[in-house]
Chains A and B, each alone.
Chain A
Amino acid sequence: MYNRKRRNRLLLGLLLVASITVVTLDFRQGQGGPIAHLRRAAVAVFGPLEEGVSRIVHPVGDFLSGLGQVGTLRGENSRLKREVAELKDRVNTYDDLARENGELRRLVGMRDERCRCKTVAATRVGTAPSNYSWAITINVGTADGVGPDMAVINQDGLVGKVVEANANYAVVKLIVDPGSGATARVARSAAIGRLSGRGPSSLSFELLDPEAEVIVGDAVVTAAIEKGIFPEGIPVGTVTEVFRERNALTKRVRVTPYVDFSSIDKVLVVTAKATGPPEG
């Protein structure tokens, strides 16, 4: 009995040491290290599985997530749409295609008009299994020209950046993740600052000039910088709160993003930014 307890404790100790080693390795090695390789391997294994399962359970997931949204206009809207679909098969198919068409048109519009960059289209196949980190897995990888540190956008605006990619799948860290950062500016006054994530659908925007002019309702877009990741002028969100602080060195505001991060489906990965000055 005594031996069993000791053996248990030893095993736990071993596991904890292994975990700490892994954390340390990950911290110190970053992109090139063994942990990054392990991540890529995990994505390689789980990627196709996630895609397969997603395809099967998408209708179930949609139904269940619809349950969770009952009580909001959107939930009511989706529920009614589903009822119509059940009754009229052909109309359902048409509605679906029209919606997808609209979504794809807006995606193309985002790429061609706002971004003017080269992109690769992808679909979300999985979400990071954690409540404190916001990341998704998409079904494109290095074989499609996608690599780490590429911006990801969708028809509504900025989504995030690629952090890991193997041949066929990639992991995208969303901008609402606390570990995300981007340079952005207020569209109206061109005041520049730094964005960072604050959780499920909120961003913190810190303007460099404490006297910068910004009001609730202002639009925020990305600001391209030297050696930056994000292209210029991608819509990010709207200012919803301006914090007043005396004698502060910067001005902080809260931004609500345009993108609905709880239901990301199709995205574009920016593989090459527009070169030359933007027209107009």
Chain B
Amino acid sequence: MNIEKFIKHLVEQFDEIDPADVSPTTKFKELDGWDSLVAISLIAMVDAEYGKKLTGDEIRKAQSVSDLFEIVKSKN
């Protein structure tokens, strides 16, 4: 897994966000358009792209993009 690709997938779940504005330290829940639908989009994206099950609680605990990346990466 590489974080650049993860960020690309993450950005796709938002309607209009410039990928250049998102880095590993970005607090993704503070991005424009963040809501519960984007949260379940992330779960569906992680399932579709990485074949892993992310939970709502894990999203809640993660603050930065790299937090979320590490959670997904650590999953089997």
Do A and B bind?
no
Q: Which residues from chain B sit less than 8 Å from chain A, CB to CB?
A: none
Q: Which residues from chain A sit less than 8 Å from chain B, CB to CB?
A: none
